[in-house]
Structures are given as structure tokens and as C-alpha cells.
Amino acid sequence: MRILVLYSGELGRKVIQNLINSSNFCVSCGELCNHCRQARKSYANLIVGIHEFQDDLPPFIEEPSQFMPPKLPECDLILAIGIHPDLLAAVPEVVQKTGAKAVIAPAEDSKKTPAGVLEQLRKELEATGVEFEAPKPFCALEKTGKPVIDAFVDLGFGKPVLRIEMSPDGKMFTGAGVLRDAPCGSTWFVAKKLSWTDLQGYKETISGAHHSYPCTGSMDKDPQIGDTILHKAGYIIREAVEDGMECAKKEKVRFSATCSDEVEALAFEN
């Protein structure tokens, strides 16, 4: 898979660093770092191009081509993260030039990434046979039967999947491992913070870790989901941990997320 990243803002930077898995990416644990990410594979070789758009673009862009990079590499997947709505609307032209088969345009802020623009982009791309997903937030991305996008999820990025370990008496987390990471990389930090904590306070532990990573989701209420995108991201990681706890209890094994065949396969692979 060849990935082209077009981005603006902090989320884009985090996604790139998470894909690369550079040694200085995650510094959330400070001096307590146990280098848990060292075993995680780097996908730097899959990235064929990166272009960062400046943050202070004009409110309206009549000629998006003026801001697009002059040379665009051939690719299979475009990650369009946090870019200006007028540039987002021009993504079909980028697809034509690069031969991309799929586009993922996550929405972390409905003001910066309007639902109407995303829906129009979906119609244009899918009309030409190009796969499209606009997860809100990025960590809501799941497999949907679209080959290229599913392959990206299979790399280990999307809706979090955790392996949970608990003490024999079921009162404490003894460990937590990442089987599928939120694209921003926050799942590793949450997993680290869960280890050797009381199960009774798991909600507060997850919330504190998720906020302090920090999550880049907007704190403005989103009209489509009826809540803030930041809160939805928080619910996603909490549900992943809760599913992991339940699965570990039922199966008496150390893997999580859901007890589906897909998760069992992920657990045994890791």
C-alpha cells in the first residue's frame, strides 16, 4: 500500500509520527517510559508523500490548485487530515493525478471539516469507484468491506482494540496491550496508564489518560452526533476497554475489544 498524507494541524502530525513510529514520537510517560512501542512495526516505507498546508489560509479559496503541491506521487490511499474545506473539495482532482483508489478524510472538528463538504466528496469519489470514509473522529474507523481502507485498518489503525490482563481476583488491571491503535497513537498511552490500577476507577483512569495525551477532537457540540467529538472519542476508548474486560472475564484469556473472530485472530497474532 502506498499512502499520501495531505494535512494541516496537530492530528495530521500525530498520525504521521504514529505511522512512522519514530523513537521520539510518544513522550507522554516522560521518565517513566518503558519503551512499550519499540516492538511496534514502522510503516514509514508505505508513505510515498507528505504535504502540510499552512494554517493561515484565506477563508475562501477559489483556485485550490494554487495551494496544492506541484508534484504528486502515485498512491493507493490518500489521508486528507484537517485540511481547508475548499482544498478538501478539490481532492477528486488529486485522486485523478495520483491514481488513488481510496480516501480517508477524518472529521475531528465539524467547523473545519463540514459535513456537507464530506458528503459531496463522498458522492464524487464513489461515483468514480473510489473508496471513501470520513470517520468522526478518526478512531471511529472500522472495516467496512472496502479493500484498500480495510487494508489500512488491518495495519493496526482505527477503532481501538485492546488486550486486557487482570489480577486473579478481578480487582486490578495487571496489564493492557494494543492490538489496534487509534490513528493518533493515544491507545498506547491509555493502555500504559491502565496497568496496575484499580478496576473500580477505570473510567476516571481512561478519561484522564485520554484527555492528557491529549485528544485533538473538538470540544464544540457536533450537530450530527449530538455531543462533542472529543467526548465521542472518549466513549470509543472506554468501550474498547470495557469490551476487553468483559471478554477477558468470559473467555479467561487475555485479549479484548469484542469476542469476534477478527479480534481473536488479532490476539493470537500478537
Residue in 241, 188, 226, 231 with CA at minimum distance from that of residue 211: 231
Torsion from C-alpha of 237, 28, 192, 208, nearest 10 degrees: -50
Q: Residue 29: its pLDDT value, please?
A: 77
| Distance, CA of 78 to CA of 68 (rounded, Å) | 14
Q: Residue 268: its pLDDT value, please?
A: 44
| Distance, CA of 177 to CA of 68 (rounded, Å) | 39
Q: Residue 28: its pLDDT value, please?
A: 72
> Which residue type, as a one-letter code, is found at position 108?
E
The three grid cell numbers given for residue 63, joined into one nine-digit string:
483556485
- Preceding peptide of 137 cis, ω within 30°: yes
Q: Residue 123: its pLDDT value, please?
A: 98
Q: Residue 146: its pLDDT value, please?
A: 98
| Distance, CA of 215 to CA of 190 (rounded, Å) | 11
Report phi then psi at 43, rounded to 5.
Answer: -115, 30
Domains and CATH numbers, the chain: 3-154 (3.40.50), 161-269 (no CATH)
| Distance, CA of 270 to CA of 266 (rounded, Å) | 6
- From residue 151, give the alpha-carbon distance in Å to each of 58, 169, 186, 227, 245: 36, 39, 21, 30, 27
| Distance, CA of 269 to CA of 254 (rounded, Å) | 13
Q: Residue 252: its pLDDT value, please?
A: 58
Q: Residue 266: its pLDDT value, please?
A: 56
Q: Residue 256: its pLDDT value, please?
A: 40
The three grid cell numbers given for residue 103, joined into one nine-digit string:
480516501
Would you give per-residue pLDDT tens digits along the chain (270 residues)?
Answer: 999 999 999 999 999 999 999 888 877 777 777 777 888 899 999 999 999 998 889 999 999 989 999 899 999 999 999 999 999 999 999 999 999 999 999 999 999 999 999 999 999 999 999 999 999 999 999 999 999 999 999 999 999 999 899 988 889 999 898 999 999 999 999 999 998 999 999 999 999 999 989 999 999 999 999 999 999 999 999 999 999 898 888 765 434 444 545 554 554 454
